[in-house]
Structure 1
Amino acid sequence: MMAWAVLVSLCVFLAVLVSGRVKPATAFTGLATLYLLTGQVDTATLLRQYTNPALATLLLLLLVSLALERSPLLDWLSDRLLSGRPRLATAKLMGAGAVLSAFLNNTAVVAAFLGAVSRQKRLAPSRLLIPLSYASILGGVTTLVGTSTNLVVNSFYLNATSEELGMFQFALVGLPVALISLGVLLWRAGSLPSHPAENIQDRLAYFLAAELTDDSPLAGKSIEANGLRNLDGLYLLEIERDGRLLSPVAPEELLQPGDTLVFTGEVNKVQALKRFPGLRLFGHQASDLLATNLVEVVVSHQSELPGKTLQEVDFRSMFSAGVVGIRRGERRLEGQLGQIPLRVGDCLLMAVSADFRQHRNLDRNFHLLSGSFTRPQLGRWQSLAALGGFAGVIGGASLGLIPLFHGLLLLMAGLLATRILTVDELRRRFPFALWLIIGSALAMAQALDNSGAAALLARGMQQLFSGYGVFAAFAGCYVLTLLLTETVTNNAAAALTFPVAWSTAQAFGADPLPFILAVAYGASACFLIPFGYQTHLMVYSPGHYRIADFLKTGLPVSLAYSASVLILTPWVFPF
């Protein structure tokens, strides 16, 4: 009876995840807590899952990558990759993205190339960004450290067998799969839309400007006293005074004759300004000076902003910046910007103050696309030390000279000692959500086993595929993982399907390894819908994409990828 109750709770849990109304970390932690309270796992077991060695290795890898993503190497590469004919530039960008993503966090790789691709004017960014995102996935499936899903699967595998997967064990299937899929991707890249990047005049269309005349009764009074803080659909973004910009504008700022007041929001609601005497409208003829402090960013998956509005978080005080426009995919959002709940992947055009770059939470919340603001980078010797240390750790772990966890811990100590990384930076960027998801998922897998639900699932899978053989069961586990990664998230998909794959292999008396690898490869097979994978969301708005663009490009890639995995995995790793 308890086994059925656990299975029902998992079905409800999956429905909640698919609905998107509850964040994955909240849902996973909530269900793990429920299993603790109902006695399916005890306290010691639950705590042990959150300190799983493979999970600790994943967290260390993500933290070390914070230093690597600040290396100027990626910027240097991006400047040289986007040369030559369009097809050649696309191939070079895809190849570099795939190779780097085999060893570096693919989110960091895409983030590094994202700004360079968006800023250059020679090639339409929309022709490059989906190929970059897909290539980063394909490179990640070739090594243990290439993607977080491989390390998630390794966490479960270590928990079940007390053994870890090898650094390049994934490459035996992953490398040929990646090469085949990259070939299909290059073929389909030519069919992507060609959306030119916004120029200055496009950006000035976000503004409405008005000059304060010499005899205006508004002069000498504050913004708040003049009633300029509560306008219908508009808000005062900044003031141009004597050739310089005041941004953001404080409520107590006193207006002066000749000031140019710059408004943003619903700029078509010009009538809201007609009631102010001595305010002469320029329409949309705002000067180019107003574009000098514009910064365009993408909301990060680590950000605290998704699900909240600009007003709720007091965005202007939080970042010393005002949001001029919001774009989601190909759409520029209209209406009251301050009341629109933000999403991961939203593209924000901001007018920033001189204090903007001083905020320490920028890296956590945003990926920079364009603007005068640049992120701090490592010096030459710091970059060489960080990259050399990381290469040494990977090489040592591959040759069996040092465990990966030990090597990463030593590297982390070195980065802290040399102040390439700081404790404050680690605290700000620590992946708490991922830690909660994987630790809770490990506890949930233990609850499945303790309650008998895992055995029940195994019998069900055996009966379902009994007439078709072990290969059909293997393919079923892969397809289940693929469907979940497209509708939920890649890490959640791996966490949910590992117990099913493990139990199915045992039910058929087969070697669990090919089933486990099917979960790993299936969890990375997110090529159809942009909302299930972080790098897709990062390129969705900068590329002005529609969901149809992902479907048309991703479907052939997904079919080639899946066919390759299903054929090669049992051949390389027999049942």
Structure 2
Amino acid sequence: MPAWAVLISLCAFLALLVSGRTKPATAFTGLAGLYLLAGLVDTPTLLLQYTNPALATLLLLLLVSIALERSPLLDWLSHRLLHGSPRLATAKLMGTSAVLSAFLNNTAVVSAFLGAISRQRRIAPSRLLIPLSYASVLGGVTTLVGTSTNLVVNSFYLNASGQEFGMFQFALVGAPVALITLAMLLWRANALPHHQAEGTRDRLAYFLSAELSPGSPLVGKSIEDNGLRGLDGLYLLEIERGGRLLSPVSPDELLQAGDTLVFTGEVNKVQALQRFPGLTLFGLKADNVLATNLVEVVISHQSELPGQTLQGVDFRSMFSAGVVGIRRGEKRLEGQLGQIPLRVGDCLLLAVSADFRQHRNLDRNFHLLSGSFTRPQLSQRQSFLTLGGFMSVIGLASIGVMPLFHGLVILMGGLLLGNIVTVAELRRRFPFELWLIIGSALAIAQALENSGTAALLAQGMQHLFSGYGVYAAFVGCYFLTLLLTETVTNNAAAALAFPIAWSTAQAFGADPLPFVMAVAYGASACFLIPFGYQTHLMVYSPGRYRITDFLKIGLPVSATYSTSVLVLTPLVFPF
């Protein structure tokens, strides 16, 4: 396959990722398979990429974090950070999440604080959740293990140079950049919306879809006569009848069998629908489903639900729970709710049975916001051993006594022997999609090198910046990565930008290290929209944000972060 054909396939691949119609794992694996069939990479080389030592380290770290995120330390901190003035509480929350995210998976950190912030009523959650998410990203750029993106870049760097990054090599630029950007974030936090649960209109967030059964006594009576107009805390938004929407709903409107009534309202007022016979919520009788405990959850990035509809999945069998309502930020959900494809970050209100907590796939699919259900936690002894073991592994790797991979293997063995994690749990939580993405991306990078496409791209970058020097090319690589991370995902952005940055550095005869760092820092520069980073999606619906809220805060934060990176990186890692 000639270089121009590879370039065309790469552009089509990128368009597919940006469109969101295909999952990244499918797209990366498919392109790697195409290049295998075209002879650009042979079978042994392809298989070798999936066993890359740095990639294996990343997978081990994510599996170890399963135990770390169950430590009561995070819950203990989450209940003690929100004291004091709102500004002080925000500063403490940001500082703590940044420090923790430097060593723990930032998804676990945000998940631990998410429920406590959403349940408290002293400070509006919308004033805290974006700072929490952004601070966790900033903390992650300071260490090798702080974010999966750094470990992804480390995988490519090992493949290209035969060397790995040190534990705190990213901190030379990452730490001052994080401090400067956190100061900007704290200053701009006052511009966040104040979505406090005060007044009915502020609480109209959840959307409920109730279908009217043919035998219901409500059929043939008006909205007013059925008492559906003056519900406490609930508002009848529209009626779907025969494929068309009736909105606004007149109080004189007569109900017909098969009507779908769409309500919006407060979480704790949903039980008001129990007294109306013949209503079914997402196929379940309202009086049965609402007689149980209500639990509020957020769909996680590891869940198997995104892309599916509630009508198309057997939700009750999967989780012993019925879906009562859906919430997606402040977005107005239209149409039949059961047919709306679910997304990562959607909030679901669940009516759970006694068997709900027994399901072993809950942690993989949901982050808990409220309700009586709590995740199983480590005992004090188990927590001490797990955290102590992890910090020992990090410390030994930092001073060069033991490679990080070796330490994580030993720690994982100890966790299994101590029954802190089980093989079944590791199997359920194995980051299979990430493994496919990174392994395939390494193979794609090798194919770009073998076909001459990487050299062609480097020549293009050299031609584009030839009149401006190597620093301009460095800036160009950074902004290319930033654009990719805002439009696809952070790990995919790093995987796509690395071979271009490496080849560009070679074309200019410069040290590749600052260009590699530009990719690492650029891939974590996702501050403008919520869809490029998993922690942003986690806080999107609980904070009841709009995309404009992310832009309002993200623009100054992104500008501060990018300026700091572009100034400091060449000083610390000269060309």
Scaled by the length of structure 1, what TM-score is found?
A: 0.86
- Secondary structure of residue in 2 paired with 1:344: coil
Q: Please tell me whether residue 232 in structure 1 is matched to residue 259 in structure 2.
A: yes
Could you say if the C-alpha distance between residues 41 and 350 of structure 1 is closer, same or farther in structure 2, counting changes exceeding 3 Å? same
Residue-by-residue CA offset, 1:154-206 (whole Å, 9 max, x unaligned): 00000011110110000000000000000000011111001124999979995
- Secondary structure of residue in 2 paired with 1:312: coil
Q: Please tell me whether residue 359 in structure 1 is matched to residue 352 in structure 2.
A: no
Shift in Å, 1:322: 1.1
Which residue of 2 is the match for residue 172 of structure 1? Answer: 172
Residue-by-residue CA offset, 1:293-348 (whole Å, 9 max, x unaligned): 11000001000000101121111221111111111111353543322110111010
Show structure 2 runs of 5+ residues with no match: 219-256, 263-270
Shift in Å, 1:234: 6.1
Could you say if the C-alpha distance between residues 79 and 387 of structure 1 is closer, same or farther in structure 2, counting changes exceeding 3 Å? same
Could you say if the C-alpha distance between residues 36 and 206 of structure 1 is closer, same or farther in structure 2, counting changes exceeding 3 Å? closer
- Secondary structure of residue in 2 paired with 1:311: coil
Could you say if the C-alpha distance between residues 207 and 467 of structure 1 is closer, same or farther in structure 2, counting changes exceeding 3 Å? closer
- Secondary structure of residue in 2 paired with 1:298: strand
CA distance in 1, matches of 2:434, 2:557: 27
Shift in Å, 1:290: 4.8
CA distance in 1, matches of 2:358, 2:33: 39
Q: Please tell me whether residue 119 in structure 1 is matched to residue 119 in structure 2.
A: yes
Which residue of 1 is the match for residue 68 of structure 2? Answer: 68
Asked if the contact 2:209–2:260 (Cα under 8 Å) also holds between the matched residues in 1, the reply is no
Q: How does 1:133-532 map to 2 (within 5 A)?
A: 133-197=133-197, 231-233=258-260, 261=277, 263=279, 265=281, 290=290, 293-331=293-331, 333-532=333-532
Which residue of 1 is the match for residue 89 of structure 2? Answer: 89
- Secondary structure of residue in 1 paired with 2:434: helix
Asked if the contact 2:211–2:281 (Cα under 8 Å) also holds between the matched residues in 1, the reply is no
Asked if the contact 2:209–2:336 (Cα under 8 Å) also holds between the matched residues in 1, the reply is no
Tell me the amino acid that sits aligned with residue 88 of structure 1.
L
Shift in Å, 1:233: 2.0
Which residue of 1 is the match for residue 232 of structure 2? Answer: none
Number of residue equivalences: 520
Shift in Å, 1:398: 0.2
Which residue of 1 is the match for residue 243 of structure 2? Answer: none
Asked if the contact 1:265–1:337 (Cα under 8 Å) also holds between the matched residues in 2, the reply is no
Shift in Å, 1:136: 0.3
- Secondary structure of residue in 1 paired with 2:79: helix
Tell me the amino acid that sits aligned with residue 574 of structure 1.
P
Shift in Å, 1:231: 4.4
CA distance in 1, matches of 2:178, 2:55: 26
CA distance in 2, matches of 1:151, 1:128: 28
- Secondary structure of residue in 2 paired with 1:310: coil
Tell me the amino acid that sits aligned with residue 110 of structure 1.
V
Asked if the contact 1:490–1:524 (Cα under 8 Å) also holds between the matched residues in 2, the reply is yes
Which residue of 2 is the match for residue 40 of structure 1? Answer: 40
CA distance in 2, matches of 1:366, 1:266: 19
Which residue of 1 is the match for residue 562 of structure 2? Answer: 562
- Secondary structure of residue in 1 paired with 2:312: helix
Could you say if the C-alpha distance between residues 13 and 554 of structure 1 is closer, same or farther in structure 2, counting changes exceeding 3 Å? same
Which residue of 2 is the match for residue 249 of structure 1? Answer: none
Asked if the contact 1:207–1:262 (Cα under 8 Å) also holds between the matched residues in 2, the reply is no
Could you say if the C-alpha distance between residues 475 and 207 of structure 1 is closer, same or farther in structure 2, counting changes exceeding 3 Å? closer
Q: Root-mean-square deviation (CA), in Å? A: 2.6
Tell me the amino acid that sits aligned with residue 66 of structure 2.
L
CA distance in 2, matches of 1:353, 1:199: 31
- Secondary structure of residue in 1 paired with 2:345: coil
- Secondary structure of residue in 2 paired with 1:80: coil
Q: Please tell me whether residue 550 in structure 1 is matched to residue 550 in structure 2.
A: yes
Tell me the amino acid that sits aligned with residue 547 of structure 1.
I
- Secondary structure of residue in 1 paired with 2:191: coil
CA distance in 2, matches of 1:422, 1:126: 37
Tell me the amino acid that sits aligned with residue 492 of structure 2.
A
Shift in Å, 1:50: 0.2
Asked if the contact 1:329–1:544 (Cα under 8 Å) also holds between the matched residues in 2, the reply is yes
Asked if the contact 1:127–1:193 (Cα under 8 Å) also holds between the matched residues in 2, the reply is yes
- Secondary structure of residue in 2 paired with 1:322: strand
Which residue of 2 is the match for residue 240 of structure 1? Answer: none
Tell me the amino acid that sits aligned with residue 172 of structure 1.
L
- Secondary structure of residue in 1 paired with 2:351: strand
Tell me the amino acid that sits aligned with residue 114 of structure 1.
L
Shift in Å, 1:265: 4.6
Could you say if the C-alpha distance between residues 26 and 103 of structure 1 is closer, same or farther in structure 2, counting changes exceeding 3 Å? same
Shift in Å, 1:454: 1.0
CA distance in 2, matches of 1:234, 1:323: 15
Tell me the amino acid that sits aligned with residue 195 of structure 1.
H
CA distance in 2, matches of 1:170, 1:82: 30
- Secondary structure of residue in 1 paired with 2:569: helix
- Secondary structure of residue in 2 paired with 1:103: coil
Could you say if the C-alpha distance between residues 148 and 508 of structure 1 is closer, same or farther in structure 2, counting changes exceeding 3 Å? same
Tell me the amino acid that sits aligned with residue 375 of structure 1.
R
CA distance in 2, matches of 1:361, 1:174: 35
Asked if the contact 1:74–1:113 (Cα under 8 Å) also holds between the matched residues in 2, the reply is yes
Scaled by the length of structure 2, what TM-score is found?
A: 0.86
Residue-by-residue CA offset, 1:372-424 (whole Å, 9 max, x unaligned): 11111111000111100000000000010100000000000000000100000
CA distance in 2, matches of 1:373, 1:73: 18
Could you say if the C-alpha distance between residues 405 and 384 of structure 1 is closer, same or farther in structure 2, counting changes exceeding 3 Å? same
Residue-by-residue CA offset, 1:111-150 (whole Å, 9 max, x unaligned): 1100110011111000000000000000000000000000
Could you say if the C-alpha distance between residues 208 and 530 of structure 1 is closer, same or farther in structure 2, counting changes exceeding 3 Å? closer
- Secondary structure of residue in 2 paired with 1:313: coil
Asked if the contact 1:233–1:266 (Cα under 8 Å) also holds between the matched residues in 2, the reply is no
